[in-house]
Amino acid sequence: MSLPTPLAMATSSASTLTPIDWVAIALYFGLLLGVASWVVRKNKDTATDYFLAGRNLGWWVIGASIFASNIGSEHIVGLAGSGATDGVALAHYELHAWCLLVLAWVFVPFYSRSLVFTMPEFLERRFGPSSRYVLSIVSIITFILSKIAVGIFAGGVVFATLLPEVHLTVGGTTINSFWIGSVSVILLTGLYTLLGGMRAVVYNDAVQVVVLIGGSACLTLYGLHRLGGWSELRHVCGSEMFNLWKPITPVGQQSTWLPVLETNTSGAIVRQAWYFNDRFPWPGMLICAPIIGLWYWCTDQYIVQRALGAPNETIARRGSIFAAFLKLFPVYLFIIPGLICFALAKSGKLPELASMVGADGKPVPAECQAAFPLMVKFLLPPGLRGIVVAGLLSALMGSLAGVFNACSTLFTVDLYQKLRPLASQHELVRMGRIATAGMILISLAWIPVIQGAHGLYDYLQSVQGYLAPPIFIVFFFGVFWKRLNARGCLWAMVVGFAIGGFRMVVDTLKTMKVGGLEHGYAHGSFFWIVNNINFQYFSVLITLVSAVVMVAVSYATASPDYGRIKSLTYATASDADRARTKASWDKRDVLASAFILCCILAAYVYFSG
């Protein structure tokens, strides 16, 4: 498989951006440079300042940064591509704004009381040092395999689509726009993250959110206007692409609610099996998607680090609630433009996109990956196009910046500082910068691998589905169940990660056709079954196994020292803890949370076919 460039690279040989666009881009990045310079001058040479912005972030900055970190590469490029291919199926993940409310109301009190730098550090206080090391190492590996990978890929897609004519010739070798875009995004992002730390990341995120939301809204409106309105979009795409629960729809004479139907060439159902399915079956969305969502929004260092930068529980909670509100937008800013792009191609109203639609009238997945940048390229007027392109590139950089900062924090605080407990504040900051530089080099080494990637969002969700369940289990069970101990936590993670890693190896060997697997595993064999179980169902399996292991091992060994875990579980929280938490919120926080839940419910009702 290769980068989806046939359409992107062939649509126009002329320059995509006009001089007005370049002026807009220059002004925008000049603004970001000014913000970054201000941040660098304000920084102090301490670990708290470099990794958590001095724990002095405002609620609106926290919320904007959480949202901006989430809507990097995989959302802008991946969600639009998925929207053009699968309709609103992935809106399930975007409607997980309620998971941020769980962060705000359930976990923020514990994180704020503990004053930790990292999620593994919190796990150490709850269970023990072994769990901290395991989670730190797995988290860094997960960031490299998922977030860095999709960030590089999306940066390359954006450049290859919008600037196909850009290339460099070095020693007779031509470097295409994919390489130029990927390297530029990595180096620029790494530079301001290395110099400015967390504060540089969050304040650039705040600027980026305003431009990206405004620009994406304009793109949606321009697309609907060109198409002929919302009703025309529904007509061209059909009700199936607007149905979140598509697999639950009865099929022909043999109606069934089962998630998988295998059909022959004439469309007749020949076999049903619970473990096969489309990529996003409704039982998987109902059970697995919340598991991944709660892990990501409530326990992932990449996201929670922003809330840890709040001065108190009130600010951290309101920042999380504000992020939940912003999280309502991606369905309409990224997925819907993907549908619009497909509808414009199918209806013939934008002939340049014709190859996105196959002879059968269905989307061509490889071509659809570039849906968002193609919309920017062919729909927006000069000037506005430049602003959206700048916001798009900034978002890609913001996503990578969050990964670099999270990885450097995990490495420095959880690994380096544990090995050198007497290290000075200056030494910790220096090591954080060195770790960031290391992540930049790793990212550059990833480019040749990611250039052959396909199915950006599918890849991300499957990797997270294999590695997230044990983390979800130990955090949620750990907070709500005081009897669970360090050994139970450790074995749950070891067993869960081993199963998830095994599935990733099985999938990778087939994808890369290693060891004579050109035609896949032998039909019906053990490895064939493992490879063909839907990734969401396999994720649920890992969750159940991890939960059983954690409970069984904990009850087979001694109970934890409840005095040591005081304030770290609901059962061991003191009266003073509860009083402080109750005083940290008021009716405004409750009403804002209720409004977000109502918006989510309304979206589920509307996108039901």
Beta bridge pairs of residue 534? none
**What number of other Cβ atoms are within 10 A of residue 553's Cβ?**
19
Three-state SS sequence of 23-73: HHHHHHHHHHHHHHHHHHHHCCCCHHHHHHHHHCCCHHHHHHHHHHHHCCH
* 438 pLDDT higher than 90: no
pLDDT of residue 477: 95
Q: Which residues contact 158 (CB under 8 A, 6 or more apart)?
A: 77, 181, 373, 389, 392, 393, 396
Kindly indicate the confidence band of residue 16, based on its pLDDT and cuts at 50, 70 and 90: low
pLDDT tens-digit series, residues 341-381? 888 888 888 777 777 777 777 777 767 777 888 888 888 88
Report the alpha-carbon distance of residue 141 to residue 65 in Å, rounded: 23
Assign residue 229 a region (left: φ > 0; alpha: ψ between -120 and 50; beta: otherwise).
Answer: left
Burial class (CB in 10 A: 0-12, 13-18, 19+), 342: buried
Instruction: Locate 206 and state its tokens.
Output: 């705040």
Beta bridge pairs of residue 263? 269
Cβ-contact 164, 12 below 8 angstroms = yes
Domain boundaries, the chain: 6-248+263-606
Report the alpha-carbon distance of residue 259 to residue 90 in Å, rounded: 16
Q: Give the least confident one: 524-528, 569-573, 595-599.
A: 524-528
Q: Which residues contact 279 (CB under 8 A, 6 or more apart)?
A: 86, 89, 458, 534, 535
**Which residue in this structure is represented by tokens 């059968």?**
360
pLDDT of residue 204: 80
CATH superfamily membership of 6-248+263-606 = Sodium/glucose cotransporter (1.20.1730.10)
Q: Give the least confident one: 86-95, 178-187, 234-243.
A: 178-187
Kindly indicate the confidence band of residue 276, based on its pLDDT and cuts at 50, 70 and 90: very low
Average pLDDT, the chain: 80
> Within 13 Å and on the Cβ side, how many CA atoms surround 188?
20
Burial class (CB in 10 A: 0-12, 13-18, 19+), 591: exposed
* Average pLDDT score over residue span 391-415: 81
Cβ-contact 307, 319 below 8 angstroms = yes
Q: Which residues contact 498 (CB under 8 A, 6 or more apart)?
A: none
Residue 109, helix vs strand vs coil:
helix
> Within 13 Å and on the Cβ side, how many CA atoms surround 456?
34
Per-range mean pLDDT, top range of 165-179, 380-394, 402-416, 567-581: 567-581
Beta bridge pairs of residue 243? 608
pLDDT tens-digit series, residues 531-564? 888 888 899 999 999 999 999 999 999 999 998 8
Burial class (CB in 10 A: 0-12, 13-18, 19+), 169: exposed
Looking only at the bridges linking them, the beta strands covering 168-170 and 262-263 are unpaired
Q: Where do the DSSP E strands lie in 113-192?
A: 168-170, 173-175
Instruction: Locate 580 and state its tokens.
Output: 């402080």
